[in-house]
């Protein structure tokens, strides 16, 4: 069992903090001693959580932030410096889904998904780096997806999440000397999120059945990985892709696996 306080003394900014995963990460980070800036375009429920953290004696602030807007990032950095005097962790978690195949995608959809999922994390990273350096270094965690490891039907989403892998590696390489580590996290399907809720039940069920672990991840299971990467426990990890997908991309061939499991069970019963 880990001790509490794994982020004690750290200031963390989480984008998309009103969403399924971001909200859980913010709660966990605060419980582990971080001062947390919860940022989202949607006030609820991140704003209320920030208030609850403060009422419990923790340190938190809510910021309305559209990740695609450079001026909003300037505001975020100013808030971190003014309210908390530092910034050690950025979780680029905000994102939007798109499942449109390439022959049907509009220019507007392509531009919007790339702006939110790829340009947003890049301009956010650019904005926070000097303050991270001045804070003695830090950790940037980019929430990508298994859609950046294997095929995904939505061309905009796939391209944005593959691009984020590239942003991760370029930043990790360049800012070692500033004491900044940068890694990407690759979940498969995550339950209890807006993104999964807006998929068709058939798509969701097919995904769940294909998971070697037989179900989608819970947001808390992704948050534990993000916490590890944000903390000094991962001090020797940078530029890495951490896959949290219930075995989906590494075990593969679920139907073959089921046949083999049946054969194995039959042999054991003999
Ligand atoms: N849910 C899944 O199955 C799944 C799987 C793999 C990766 N991911 C990734 O996980 C991350 C978190 O998503 P989630 O699963 O919690 O989904 P979610 O839809 O519940 O949360 C996404 C959040 O991002 C916010 N957001 C959207 N556009 C924004 C913008 N321009 N600026 C600021 N905030 C914005 C939304 O308001 C929302 O609160 C995303 O990057 C997503 O691509 C999700």
| Structural domains for the chain | 11-269 (3.40.50.720)
- pLDDT bucket at 1, cuts 50 / 70 / 90: very low
Q: What is the pTM of this model?
A: 0.95
125 lines ligand 1 (CB under 6 A): no
Residue 264 annotated among the catalytic residues of the structure? no
Task: Give the model confidence (pLDDT) of 149-195 as tens digits.
Answer: 999 999 999 999 999 999 999 999 999 999 999 999 999 999 999 99
96 lines ligand 1 (CB under 6 A): yes
**Probe ligand 1: pick from 116, 195, 205, max atoms within 8 Å of CB?**
195
Ligand 1 centre and the CA of 126: distance in Å?
Answer: 20
Task: Give the model confidence (pLDDT) of 108-154 as tens digits.
Answer: 999 999 999 999 999 999 999 999 999 999 999 999 999 999 999 99
**Probe ligand 1: pick from 13, 18, 19, 218, max atoms within 8 Å of CB?**
19
pLDDT score at 254: 67
Task: Give the model confidence (pLDDT) of 65-93 as tens digits.
Answer: 999 999 999 999 999 999 999 999 999 99
Ligand 1 centre and the CA of 19: distance in Å?
Answer: 6
Instruction: Specify the 3-state DSSP secondary structure of 65.
Output: coil
Phi-psi region of 117 (alpha: psi -120 to 50; beta: other; left: phi over 0): alpha
What sign results for the dihedral spanned by CA atoms 95, 99, 100, 101? Answer: positive
Nearest C-alpha neighbor of 6 from the set 219, 233, 161, 194? 233
Neighbour order of strands in the sheet with 35-40: 60-64, 35-40, 11-15, 89-92, 138-143, 180-187, 241-244
Give me the chain's average pLDDT, please: 95
Query: Residue 27 and residue 38: Cα distance in Å, rounded?
Result: 10
Question: To the nearest 5 percent, what fractions of the chain are helix, strand and coil?
Answer: 50, 15, 35
Q: Per-residue pLDDT for 35 more than 80?
A: yes
Ligand 1 centre and the CA of 258: distance in Å?
Answer: 32
């Amino acid at each position: 069992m880990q001790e509490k306080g794994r982020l004690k003394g750290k200031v963390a900014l989480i984008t998309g903090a009103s969403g399924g995963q971001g909200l859980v990460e913010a709660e966990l980070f605060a419980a582990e001693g971080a001062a947390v800036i919860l940022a989202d375009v949607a006030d609820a429920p991140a704003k209320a959580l920030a208030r609850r953290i403060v009422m419990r004696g923790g340190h938190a602030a809510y910021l309305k932030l559209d990740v695609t807007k450079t001026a909003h990032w300037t505001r975020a950095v100013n808030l971190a410096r003014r309210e908390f005097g530092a910034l050690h962790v950025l979780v680029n978690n905000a994102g939007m889904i798109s499942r449109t195949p390439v022959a049907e995608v509009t220019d507007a959809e392509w531009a919007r998904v790339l702006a939110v999922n790829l340009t947003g994390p890049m301009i956010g990273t650019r904005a926070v780096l000097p303050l991270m350096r001045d804070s003695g270094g830090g950790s940037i965690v980019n929430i990508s997806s298994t859609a950046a490891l294997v095929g995904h039907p939505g061309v905009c989403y796939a391209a944005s999440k593959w691009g984020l892998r590239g942003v991760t590696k370029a930043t990790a390489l360049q800012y070692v000397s500033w004491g900044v580590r940068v890694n990407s996290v690759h979940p498969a399907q995550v339950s209890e999120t807006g993104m999964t809720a807006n998929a068709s039940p058939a798509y969701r069920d097919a995904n769940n059945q294909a998971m070697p672990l037989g179900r989608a991840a819970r947001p808390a299971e992704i948050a534990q990985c993000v916490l590890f990467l944000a903390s000094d426990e991962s001090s020797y990890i940078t530029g890495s892709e951490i896959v949290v997908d219930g075995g989906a991309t590494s075990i593969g061939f679920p139907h073959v696996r089921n046949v083999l499991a049946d054969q194995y069970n039959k042999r054991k019963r003999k």
